[in-house]
Amino acid sequence: MKKPKLIRFMSSYEALRLINGETVVNNTDHNKDNQRSTDSVGFCYFDWNDKDKTIYDYASKISGIADMEVCLVATPKDEYKHLFKKGYGLYARDDVMKEPTGKESTAEAFMMILDMIDIVAKELSDKSLRARYSEYSTKEYRLSMFKDWKIYTPDTENEHDRSKHIKYSSHDYKKPKLVMKGGVL
């Protein structure tokens, strides 16, 4: 396996356990209940292989599917690479989610937002709105398995402040905040 740069969105609870040095475990077979939407088992990570993509680009693929309180970007150490199984997942296509840019009229922007809501609702059943992306999965991991890692949180100081809410959307990752980074623990 090449040295993948992995990106994972998670709950603050999972992140706190990792920061405390714990090994987190997840044996969920995601294929079992998701009609062949993935072949992953355990924790899922996007393969951040496209340098032109941002954290926001990956967040927009899974908004509404996964916890997005914290984002981990990391590269596994050589001795742990074999624990990360390469696979696939079906997520929102890049060309499907189009947000208002601010140049549209209020009515146009409103219609774009309604379209996005409709797309997210349809995505649950309409596989034509999804594309196959490379991902990695592992049943357990800890921060010390990575040679470098960075933890980001959503930007909650923008006009879409969600700091009073538990769930974040992809929009909150337009300007992610680096809150912690490290190497060997």
Question: Which range scores top for mean pLDDT: 22-26, 52-56, 105-109, 122-126?
Answer: 22-26
Distance CA 125, CA 116 (A): 15
Query: For residue 39, what pLDDT is reported?
Result: 83
Query: For residue 165, what pLDDT is reported?
Result: 43
| 21 against 56, higher pLDDT | 21
Q: Token digits for 126? A: 């309409």
At 59-103, the pLDDT tens digits run 888 777 778 889 999 999 999 999 999 988 877 777 665 555 556
When pLDDT is averaged across residues 134-145 and rounded to a whole number, the result is 94
Q: What are phi and psi of 51, to 5 degrees?
A: -65, -20
Q: Token digits for 180? A: 């912690």
Whole-structure pTM value: 0.73
Distance CA 105, CA 86 (A): 44
Report whether pLDDT(43) > 70.
yes
Query: For residue 154, what pLDDT is reported?
Result: 83
Instruction: Of 68, 53, 76, give the one whose Cα is nearest residue 143.
Output: 76
At 5-16, the pLDDT tens digits run 999 999 999 999
Q: CA-CA distances (angstroms) from residue 15 to 9, 124, 146?
A: 10, 27, 14
Banded pLDDT at 112 (limits 50, 70, 90): low
Cβ–Cβ < 8 Å for 62, 130: no
The H or E element spanning position 47 is strand 43-47
